[in-house]
Each structure stands twice: as C-alpha cells, then as structure tokens.
C-alpha cells in the first residue's frame, strides 16, 4: 500500500482547469493518477516529474467505435505524445459522451483542444444528464410522497412518534436543497463560461462552493447511516446496513472496474438495477415471522395472567387517574399500559387502562399528557386536534380544568366521550366510555394537573 494512495477529491467533473492543475501538482510530488472515481481517486508512487494533463470529451457509439465528431479519435492522440490515463467518473460513464484524462511528459505539448467554444459545448453535452433536472423532481417526490401519506396524522406523527420521522424529513429536505444547489451551481457556471467564451476567453474557474457541496454529499451519507441506526434493534440494524453496503459496494465496483471487466450494456444495466433494488430494500420494512408473532401472542409475560382470552396485570402499576377513581368502585381485572414517546420538540405520556368485572362489565379509559416548550409546535398540535376531518368539538368552561380552553367532542349518543384541554405549553386528551359528571371532571382535572406539575419540577 506504500506505492498506492487514495485521495478524496471534491473537484467538479466540469472543472477541467482545476482537475488538470491538481493532477500536475500531484505528479510533481511523485504521485501519478491511476483511476478517477466519484470521490476516491487512486494514485501510484512514481518519480516526481513535470507532467501535463488534459481532460477531454471522447464521443463513442454504442458499438464502441468513434462516431463523426469535430474531435479526433482517441488513437490520434498518441503521435502528439498524449497517453490515456483514466475515465473521469461523472455519473454517466456508460453514456455516449465520456470524459477522459490524458497525460503528456513533454515540456510544451501540443494542446488537444483549441476551440474553447466547441470544448464548452461538448462538455455541456456530457454534463447535461449528470446535472439533469430529473434529480430535482426525484428529490421533490421523495419529500412530497411521505407528507401526502401522513397528511391525516400530521403533526402528531411528526412530533410525538420519536425523532426518527423528524430526522427523515430533515434528511429529505437536505437532499432537495443539495440537488438545487448542485444543479444551480453548474447552471450558473455554464452561463458565465458561455459568456466568457463568446468574448474570446476560456471557461471560468469553478467556485469553491462545489467542493462544499461534495462534502455535503458525504455528510448526507453520514446522516443516512444515523437514520438507519435510530430506533432499530440489533438484528434489523445489521440486516439493513448489510443490504445497503452490498448495494453500494456493487455500484462502486461497477463504476470503477467496468472497463477492466468489459461487461456488455445489458449485463451492466441488470447489475446496476440489482444494486439499486438492494439499496431501496434497505429502507423497507422487515417482514415479520408469522409463527414467531403467533407464539409471542400466546406467551404470558411475567407479572400478568390470562382471563377470558386477554392479558391482565397481577399488580397494576400506579396511574394518576384510574377507572376506579372515576367509577368509585374496584374492578376485578385490570390491564394498564403506559408509554412515553415524543421528540426533542414535544413529548407525550400516554396512559391506557382496561378494567373488567366477573359479570362481563368493562370500562376503558385512555388519556395523554402532551408538553412542548416551542410555541409554533404547540399551535400546530392544537390546530390539528381541533380540525380533524369529520369531527366537531364544542367549547366548554375551562375553569374546572384550570386551563385556558376545553372542548368536548360532539358525537353519537353511545360513542366514547372525548375531551381536549389546552393550557400553557400542554395538551390533555381524555377518552372515557361514559360522559363525565361535574364531580368526575373535577377529579380528573385535579389528578392530571398534579401530574403535569410533577413533570415540571426539576
């Protein structure tokens, strides 16, 4: 490995002057280019020398022969002292227009290209697919489709179901912004270069912004890895990362060694499609084992027992408000579940209780305490609870609850009663099978407010 060196290059593929100057500096330090990938370029150790490099577009037909074009064929570069080094990967290696790197050891070699206008026009032809607007459409759809899917569950699903969904949308937003900046940077460079060439000059230098964007692409890969590791158990995480690594490795090897392997276009397309499918599958849902799920449902966890086909708690955990508190009588069988969820913008404590008697009478109570210190998140959550499609809430006196406002869902006679209570920085949702009397409402208000005040204490 002492004779090999891999460098992370962030030069734009259309920055011909920058690439040529970079390779000449590396040759002066004793490193000759072997291959130029998307980010990693491979160099080999050599004697320091003054070497000139040139990046040109070489047109090719699908049958491998040179098509009619103002540029000479690759074989005609040899007499002028130019030696082929590597293809320059820019996302369209298998297209008809290739960017190739040549070197010349002469002190003052004959330039490969002298017509700057033709050079810019052909370079733009090679770049128009790499920097196509289809990327913007793809990034926009990646952002829009999940939002459309969650349109009836926003913003609760966004703020109260963990940081992973927030993180996912942030990643997609970064991807969209990156596509906008990446394509916009190239378009601005091309327009400025076209004006410069028409004035008798050469293409303008590429801004350092592109290097920042290339580093941003690597940052997005890190963000992607963090997204995959969030809220995943160990087995699922290993499976996802394994499938993703296999697909990414396949694409990398295919782009680096396609010339050496000499694969036909059909096989290349098939392998590329397979790698893309593997990468997409790494984001998909892992199928559950139905036999394991059935066995899990049949198991009785520790501290529980089974009665009438359902699980019940041997020693129910303490809740701030229970069915016994509201009904004023004990229950024979009780099942309570408590879940803490949320994100760094909002958090929710969800309480669910099911109580039953030997006679078959049952009582189901569910309530949640939502807290947020961000005003716009609070306003969005409040509006989403009150503006649910097909539901209408009637305002009530908030004084018994000690809150700013209170609402009761207007529904059918035998529907569960649902209440919404809004206070400074908190939201209470309460669902009970029967309408609450004033005494029950006062008891529920005192218990839940006490729990909120307990959470506020450091």
Say whether both 102 and 19 belong to one domain: yes
Report how far residue 307's alpha carbon sits from residue 299's, in angstroms, rounded to the nearest whole number.
13
Q: Let me know if residue 63 belongs to a domain.
A: yes
Q: Let me know if residue 291 belongs to a domain.
A: no
205 SS3 class: coil
Q: Let me know if residue 289 belongs to a domain.
A: no
User: With 70 as the cut, is the pLDDT of residue 169 above it?
Assistant: yes
As for how many domains the chain has, the answer is 3
The mean per-residue pLDDT over the stretch 89-94 comes to 52
103-118 residue pLDDT tens = 888 888 877 776 788 8
179-205 residue pLDDT tens = 787 788 888 888 999 999 888 888 888
Percent of the chain past pLDDT 70, that is, above it, reads 72
Say whether both 60 and 184 belong to one domain: no
399-413 residue pLDDT tens = 888 889 999 888 665
Tokens of 227: 């997204």
Q: Are 406 and 387 in contact (CB under 8 A)?
A: no
The mean per-residue pLDDT over the stretch 320-341 comes to 93
Question: What is the strand order of the sheet 97-104 is part of?
Answer: 52-59, 97-104, 83-87
Say whether both 144 and 277 belong to one domain: yes
Provide the b/e sequence for 200-218 (b: ≥16 CB within 10 Å).
eeebbebeeebbebbebee
Instruction: Select from 264, 281, 298 the last residue of a domain.
Output: 281
Which residue has better confidence, 359 or 60? Answer: 359
Provide the b/e sequence for 346-358 (b: ≥16 CB within 10 Å).
bbbbbbbbbbbee
- Mean pLDDT score of the chain: 78
How many other C-beta atoms can be found within 10 angstroms of the C-beta atom of residue 136?
15
Instruction: Select from 68, 83, 113 the last residue of a domain.
Output: 113
Q: What is the model's pLDDT at position 109?
A: 82
Strand partners, 338: 351
Q: Which of 68, 122, 63 is nearest to 98 (CA)?
A: 122
Say whether both 53 and 98 belong to one domain: yes
Say whether both 84 and 155 belong to one domain: no
349-380 residue pLDDT tens = 999 999 999 888 999 999 999 999 999 999 98
Torsion of CA 139, 144, 145, 146, to 10 degrees: 100
Q: Which of 251, 260, 309 is nearest to 280 (CA)?
A: 251
Say whether both 93 and 144 belong to one domain: no
Q: Let me know if residue 124 belongs to a domain.
A: no
Q: Which of 367, 405, 365, 409 is nearest to 387 (CA)?
A: 409
**Concatenated DSSP letters for 120-149?**
HHHHHHHHTTTT-THHHHHHHHHHHHHHHH
User: With 70 as the cut, is the pLDDT of residue 124 above it?
Assistant: yes
Q: Tokens 């960017």 belong to which residue?
A: 99
Provide the b/e sequence for 116-134 (b: ≥16 CB within 10 Å).
beebbebbbebbeebbeee
Say whether both 207 and 333 belong to one domain: no
Q: Tokens 């697909």 belong to which residue?
A: 247
Lowest-confidence region among 147-156, 239-248, 406-415, 427-436: 147-156
The mean per-residue pLDDT over the stretch 294-318 comes to 81
376-397 residue pLDDT tens = 999 989 988 888 777 788 898 8
User: With 60 as the cut, is the pLDDT of residue 70 above it?
Assistant: no
Say whether both 312 and 452 belong to one domain: yes
**Concatenated DSSP letters for 59-84?**
E--TTSSPPS-SSPPGGGGGGGT-EE
Strand partners, 354: 335, 364
User: With 90 as the cut, is the pLDDT of residue 321 above it?
Assistant: yes
Which residue has better confidence, 11 or 332? Answer: 332
Contacts of 215 (CB under 8 A, 6+ apart): 10
Q: Let me know if residue 121 belongs to a domain.
A: no
Q: Tokens 């916009």 belong to which residue?
A: 184
Q: What is the model's pLDDT at position 407?
A: 92
Report how far residue 232's alpha carbon sits from residue 228's, in angstroms, rounded to the nearest whole number.
7
User: With 90 as the cut, is the pLDDT of residue 330 above it?
Assistant: yes
Torsion of CA 379, 380, 381, 387, to 10 degrees: 110
Report how far residue 312's alpha carbon sits from residue 241's, in angstroms, rounded to the nearest whole number.
39
How many other C-beta atoms can be found within 10 angstroms of the C-beta atom of residue 51?
20
H-run or E-run covering 89:
none
The mean per-residue pLDDT over the stretch 71-100 comes to 64
Long-range (24+ apart) CB contacts under 8 A made by 29-34 are 31/5, 32/103, 33/85, 33/86, 33/101, 33/103, 34/85, 34/86
Percent of the chain past pLDDT 90, that is, above it, reads 19
249-285 residue pLDDT tens = 777 676 555 555 666 667 777 887 888 788 777 766 6
Say whether both 316 and 203 belong to one domain: no
Sign of CA dihedral 100, 103, 107, 110: negative
Say whether both 142 and 210 belong to one domain: yes
Q: What is the model's pLDDT at position 62?
A: 43
Q: What is the model's pLDDT at position 323?
A: 93
Q: Let me know if residue 399 belongs to a domain.
A: yes
Report how far residue 86's alpha carbon sits from residue 353's, in angstroms, rounded to the nearest whole number.
68
Helix residue ranges per DSSP H, 150-289: 156-159, 163-198, 209-229, 234-261, 265-281
Q: Which of 157, 168, 150 is nearest to 381 (CA)?
A: 157
Say whether both 52 and 177 belong to one domain: no
User: With 70 as the cut, is the pLDDT of residue 76 above it?
Assistant: no
29-41 residue pLDDT tens = 999 988 887 667 8
How many other C-beta atoms can be found within 10 angstroms of the C-beta atom of residue 367?
23
Q: Let me know if residue 386 belongs to a domain.
A: yes
Q: Let me know if residue 342 belongs to a domain.
A: yes
Report how far residue 452's alpha carbon sits from residue 367's, in angstroms, rounded to the nearest whole number.
13
Q: What is the model's pLDDT at position 66?
A: 42
Give the distance from CA 163 to its chain's centroid. Answer: 13
Say whether both 143 and 103 belong to one domain: no
Per the confidence metrics, is the pTM higher than 0.75? no
Q: What is the model's pLDDT at position 324?
A: 93
Tokens of 263: 């694969």
Domain span at 348: 307-456
Phi, psi of 172 (to 5 degrees): -65, -35
């Amino acid at each position: 490995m002492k004779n090999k060196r891999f460098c992370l290059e962030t030069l734009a593929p259309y920055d011909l002057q920058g690439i040529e100057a970079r390779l000449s500096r590396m040759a002066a330090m004793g490193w000759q280019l072997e291959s130029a990938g998307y980010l990693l370029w491979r160099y080999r150790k050599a004697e320091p020398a003054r070497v000139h490099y040139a990046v040109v577009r070489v047109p090719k037909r699908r049958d491998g022969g040179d098509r009619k074009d103002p540029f000479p064929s690759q074989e005609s570069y040899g007499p002028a002292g130019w030696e082929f080094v590597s293809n320059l990967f820019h996302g369209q290696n298998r297209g008809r227009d290739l960017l190739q790197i040549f070197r010349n050891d002469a002190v003052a070699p004959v330039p490969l290209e002298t017509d700057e206008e033709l050079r810019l026009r052909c370079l733009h032809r090679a770049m128009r697919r790499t920097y196509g607007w289809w990327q913007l459409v793809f990034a926009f759809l990646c952002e829009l489709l999940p939002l459309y899917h969650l349109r009836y569950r926003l913003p609760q699903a966004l703020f109260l179901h963990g940081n992973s969904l927030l993180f996912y949308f942030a990643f997609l937003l970064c991807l969209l912004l990156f596509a906008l900046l990446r394509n916009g940077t190239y378009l601005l460079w091309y327009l400025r270069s076209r004006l410069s060439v028409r004035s008798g000059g050469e293409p303008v230098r590429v801004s350092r912004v592109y290097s920042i964007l290339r580093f941003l692409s690597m940052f997005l890969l890190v963000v992607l890895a963090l997204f995959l590791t969030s809220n995943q158990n160990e087995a699922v995480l290993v499976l996802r990362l394994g499938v993703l690594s296999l697909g990414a490795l396949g694409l990398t090897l295919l782009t680096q060694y396609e010339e050496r392997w000499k694969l036909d276009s059909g096989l290349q397309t098939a392998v590329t499609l397979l790698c893309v499918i593997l990468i997409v599958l790494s984001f998909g849902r892992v199928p559950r084992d139905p036999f394991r799920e059935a066995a899990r449902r049949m198991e009785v966890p520790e501290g529980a027992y089974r009665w009438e086909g359902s699980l019940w708690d041997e020693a129910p955990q303490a809740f701030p408000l229970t069915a016994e508190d509201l009904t004023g009588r004990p229950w024979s069988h009780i099942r309570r579940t408590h879940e803490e969820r949320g994100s760094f913008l909002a958090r929710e404590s969800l309480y669910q209780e099911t109580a039953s008697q030997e006679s078959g009478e049952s009582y189901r109570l569910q309530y949640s305490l939502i807290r947020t210190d961000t005003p716009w998140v609070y306003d969005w959550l409040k509006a989403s609870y009150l503006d649910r499609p097909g539901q209408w809430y009637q305002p009530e006196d908030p004084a018994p609850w000690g809150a700013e406002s209170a609402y009761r869902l207007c529904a059918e006679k035998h529907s569960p009663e649902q209440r919404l209570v809004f206070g400074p920085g908190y939201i209470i949702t309460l669902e009970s099978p029967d309408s609450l009397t004033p005494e029950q409402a006062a008891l529920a208000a005192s218990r839940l407010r006490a729990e909120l005040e307990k959470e506020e204490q450091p």
